[in-house]
Amino acid sequence: MSSRAERTDAEHERSTRTRDVPKAKTSAAAVFALIFGLLAFFGILSIVFSPIALPLAVIGLILGAVGISRTKDPRRTGRALAIIGLILSVLALLLAVVALVGGFVLLDEPGVLTWLEDRLADARENLPTQVPEP
């Protein structure tokens, strides 16, 4: 009988210990830093979404810094999410700067604009005059 009472006391003590410890919550800033970092990184890799990738990267950078500072509290988790979001945002910013500088350098070359104009003129000449109806 005493072993059963000891087991019950041990189970009661264990359950009260786990109830007293507050559950850690994930930082919302860290989660959003990861989301914005992913959107910025994949947005800058695509040509279609690259104009909105730069503001997304800046927002992800700010949220990553806030997420890292907020996860210093032991009641908050998500430090790894904030760091990954911060890294992806920095990579997206670097890729955006490289693309912008590369674009300006390319367009600054003397023969590039005339080459592009010639290609556009050739494409216009090769367009069909009439489009067949389906």
Q: Domain-by-domain residue ranges, the chain? A: 2-96
Which class for 28: exposed (0-12), middle (13-18), buried (19 or more C-beta within 10 A)?
A: middle
Q: Would you give per-residue pLDDT tens digits along the chain (134 residues)?
A: 455 555 566 666 666 555 666 788 999 999 999 999 999 999 999 978 888 999 999 999 999 999 999 999 888 999 999 999 999 999 999 998 888 888 788 777 778 878 888 899 998 888 887 777 87
Q: Token pair 């909105």 is at which residue?
A: 52
CB 44 within 8 A of CB 96: yes
The sign of the torsion formed by the CA atoms of 127, 128, 129, 131 equals negative
Q: How far is CA 73 from CA 19, 24, 68, in A?
A: 20, 10, 10
